[in-house]
Structure 1
Amino acid sequence: MPRTNYNNTAGLKYHTTQETLLYASLTMGSSCMFLYINSVLLFTLRSKSVFCETSRYILLYNLLFADTVYLVSSSLLFLLAICQIKLTFYMCSVVILPPLLVYSISPLTLTVMSLERFVAICYPLRHAVIITVRNTGVAITMVWLSSSLRIIIRVLMLLCSYTEFSFDLHMKDFCSDETLFLVPMYYYFVTAYSGIVFLSAGVTIICSYIGVTLVARSASTNKASARKASQTLLLHLFQLGLILISTFHSNIITAAATMMERSHVLRLHSLSFIFLTVLPRCLSTFIYGFRDQTIRPLLIQHLCSQCTMSFVPK
């Protein structure tokens, strides 16, 4: 059944200004902190030539870039909603475009990264031939083209529904995916597309994990490297699961607005934003940034240097 068009920030307007500022500060504070760490890691991945010439680090940069764009856009939408700022239809279309574009980049890139780890452990002698910088660039291009095609189909569906739905210049609800795309067919398309993407990604990561685990049991392999790769794949699966759950963020708030007291809706909305939107887009920093022995020293160095510069008076 198509989703009922509830405002995904229902109940926010019933809170006091102090309470709204408190939860907005907590939410945006955590978002800005992770954005800062992601930005430093992005800078770190461009600070050495080895990161620009190694496929796994190129894929990580693509993943982090998409996650950072999504986090910035989602934080902006959350801030507009919690401040009760309503945009025009065309302004909302511009603001909502970046998160819609990069949303599927993360699960698709996680799929490619899992395949890279599978080839590295299961076929180490062929890894340098299969996983090249050129092939990595082709894979990243295909990932972005797939996500772009999803946006093009959405826009075409929106234009085709112009005769059925009247687009008011000023939106009655806060800017969100649900309030912008009111076409019932759009719901079915999003459900089908998300199902295919997440099912394919999940199956690929699970199969890669099984393959790496089987190889790790053999006596002719580097058990430490295989064990670390299997742990990374499990973390990828956990990250994919969080991203999948985040697709139901608006549904959770909608259901809560109909069952819970309005005084609790803002709290749930803030917590769900942190754990379902912010956290899944920051796990890559911890999975690779602090676990990778090549990245970790440089990342800590850059983080410490940036913190030192921020506290040193000019």
Structure 2
Amino acid sequence: MSYVSQTNISVELQYQEFLERVITFTLCTIPSCVFLFINGTMLFTLRSKSVFRDTCRYILLFNLLIADTAQLAVCQVLFLLSVCRITLTYPVCGMLTVFANITNVISPLTLMVMSLERCVAVCLPLRHAMIVTIRNTRLAIIAVWTSSSLHNIFRGILLLDFPFEDLDSLQMTSLCSDLAMQLGSRSKVYDNAFTGILFASAAMAIISSYVGVIIAARSASTGKASALKARNTLMLHLVQLCLSLSSTIYNPLLVALIKIVQTVVFIRLHKFLYILMIIFPRCLSSLIYGLRDQTIRPILLGHLDCQLKHKAVAVSG
């Protein structure tokens, strides 16, 4: 009777664990798919009209959305692998985390460039067309992607110091994450230092642009409406930078929580924090810009409406 009782308890616990994984999978996958759909529609909108393709700030917005969408997709893959308790090899996990890091660095750098562009538009309106050209915008985007790639190359060089040859197998014993790939103290120190410098530089550029716009708004030669709109945009960029920072502190926050809370509580907090700090920030850019910009809004809503109607007809058919 004791053996049967223990067996029943074990089966019930396995069922509860399976049910919790299914619920987690559903609750986290559905918002991700919805936000990926919205981001994809926004990207299509920005490529559908020549006014978007030939305007520098929309080109920068397109680059920001590409990074956020790719980051959301990779993070969702890593999260689902952790929910399903699937371990990877070090090379495969390294490739996924490198791609996630590239896109994670691109967001704050792009926000920095977008803030400087708005500052030039208000403070130097007569020279804006000469400074902010499509060619210079593309060069800035290339510089952003190059900086992010060099950062990950250096992270890879630091990983070479880890004695992989002493391992019995390249199969990881822990779940794949960026934290699990920080092998060695030098890698952790470099990551922390780079993240701090990156966000401090981006915050300084945005705040400096904001101050410059306020000063320019007080002069009689600057349009008050244009300056006010630019100031609100820069505040929005600062909020976006804080949201980008939330994904950076996500892993350290989990490390701190696992030391002070019980395992069951940590698992539930993990899911909540993932939705709050990873999923939501990666979709807010498209929602905020798409609904706020008077040029984008009608086209975006039209594309969303058409796609939803097309899917409804396909399902009913």
Q: What TM-score, normalized by structure 2, do the two folds share?
A: 0.90
Would the alpha carbon gap of residues 165 and 303 (structure 1) be closer, same or farther in structure 2, given more than 3 Å must change?
farther
2:188 matches 1:182: no
Query: Aligned AA for 1:89?
Result: Y
Matches of residues 1-314 of structure 1 in structure 2 within 5 Å? 16-162=17-163, 166=167, 168-312=169-313, 313-314=316-317
Deviates most, 58-67 or 264-273: 264-273
Corresponding position of 2:4? none
Q: Is the 8 A contact 1:212 1:229 kept in 2?
A: yes
Would the alpha carbon gap of residues 167 and 69 (structure 1) be closer, same or farther in structure 2, given more than 3 Å must change?
farther
1:210 Cα deviation after fit: 1.1
- Provide the identity percentage: 48
Tell me how far apart the structure 1 counterparts of residues 62 and 102 of structure 2 sit (CA, whole Å). Answer: 17
Q: Is the 8 A contact 2:60 2:114 kept in 1?
A: yes
Q: Secondary structure of the equivalent of 2:48?
A: coil
Tell me how far apart the structure 2 counterparts of residues 98 and 239 of structure 1 sit (CA, whole Å). Answer: 21
Would the alpha carbon gap of residues 238 and 164 (structure 1) be closer, same or farther in structure 2, given more than 3 Å must change?
farther
Deviates most, 128-137 or 207-216: 207-216
Would the alpha carbon gap of residues 240 and 146 (structure 1) be closer, same or farther in structure 2, given more than 3 Å must change?
same
1:87 Cα deviation after fit: 1.2
Query: Aligned AA for 1:150?
Result: H
Deviates most, 188-197 or 263-272: 263-272
Would the alpha carbon gap of residues 192 and 15 (structure 1) be closer, same or farther in structure 2, given more than 3 Å must change?
farther
Would the alpha carbon gap of residues 293 and 167 (structure 1) be closer, same or farther in structure 2, given more than 3 Å must change?
farther
Tell me how far apart the structure 1 counterparts of residues 15 and 281 of structure 2 sit (CA, whole Å). Answer: 29
Tell me how far apart the structure 1 counterparts of residues 290 and 169 of structure 2 sit (CA, whole Å). Answer: 45
Tell me how far apart the structure 1 counterparts of residues 244 and 169 of structure 2 sit (CA, whole Å). Answer: 32
Tell me how far apart the structure 2 counterparts of residues 225 and 20 of structure 1 sit (CA, whole Å). Answer: 50
Would the alpha carbon gap of residues 219 and 70 (structure 1) be closer, same or farther in structure 2, given more than 3 Å must change?
same
Query: Aligned AA for 1:246?
Result: S
1:214 Cα deviation after fit: 2.2
Tell me how far apart the structure 2 counterparts of residues 207 and 124 of structure 1 sit (CA, whole Å). Answer: 17
Q: Is the 8 A contact 1:14 1:262 kept in 2?
A: no
1:20 Cα deviation after fit: 2.3
Corresponding position of 1:10? none
1:17 Cα deviation after fit: 1.7
Tell me how far apart the structure 2 counterparts of residues 51 and 80 of structure 1 sit (CA, whole Å). Answer: 37
Q: Is the 8 A contact 2:46 2:58 kept in 1?
A: yes
1:14 Cα deviation after fit: 11
| CA RMSD, 1 decimal | 1.8
Q: Secondary structure of the equivalent of 2:160?
A: helix
1:164 Cα deviation after fit: 8.1
Would the alpha carbon gap of residues 261 and 289 (structure 1) be closer, same or farther in structure 2, given more than 3 Å must change?
same
Q: Size of the alignment, in residue pairs?
A: 302
Would the alpha carbon gap of residues 163 and 81 (structure 1) be closer, same or farther in structure 2, given more than 3 Å must change?
closer
Deviates most, 145-154 or 247-256: 247-256
Structure number with the bigger relative contact order (C-alpha 8 A, sep ≥ 6) is 1
1:289 Cα deviation after fit: 1.2
Deviates most, 211-220 or 231-240: 211-220
- Larger Rg: 1 or 2? 2
- Residue deviations 1:89-142 (CA, integer Å, cap 9, x gap): 222122222102211000000000000000111111111000000000110010
Would the alpha carbon gap of residues 15 and 253 (structure 1) be closer, same or farther in structure 2, given more than 3 Å must change?
farther
1:239 Cα deviation after fit: 1.3
- Residue deviations 1:233-284 (CA, integer Å, cap 9, x gap): 1111111112213212112222222211222222211111112112222221
Tell me how far apart the structure 2 counterparts of residues 14 and 166 of structure 1 sit (CA, whole Å). Answer: 35
Would the alpha carbon gap of residues 139 and 125 (structure 1) be closer, same or farther in structure 2, given more than 3 Å must change?
same
Q: Is the 8 A contact 1:242 1:280 kept in 2?
A: yes
Query: Aligned AA for 2:202?
Result: A
Would the alpha carbon gap of residues 269 and 152 (structure 1) be closer, same or farther in structure 2, given more than 3 Å must change?
same
Q: Is the 8 A contact 1:115 1:208 kept in 2?
A: yes
Q: What TM-score, normalized by structure 1, do the two folds share?
A: 0.91
Structure 1 gap segments, 5+ residues each: 1-12
Deviates most, 218-227 or 103-112: 218-227
Q: Secondary structure of the equivalent of 1:19?
A: helix
Q: Is the 8 A contact 1:23 1:267 kept in 2?
A: no
Would the alpha carbon gap of residues 219 and 132 (structure 1) be closer, same or farther in structure 2, given more than 3 Å must change?
same
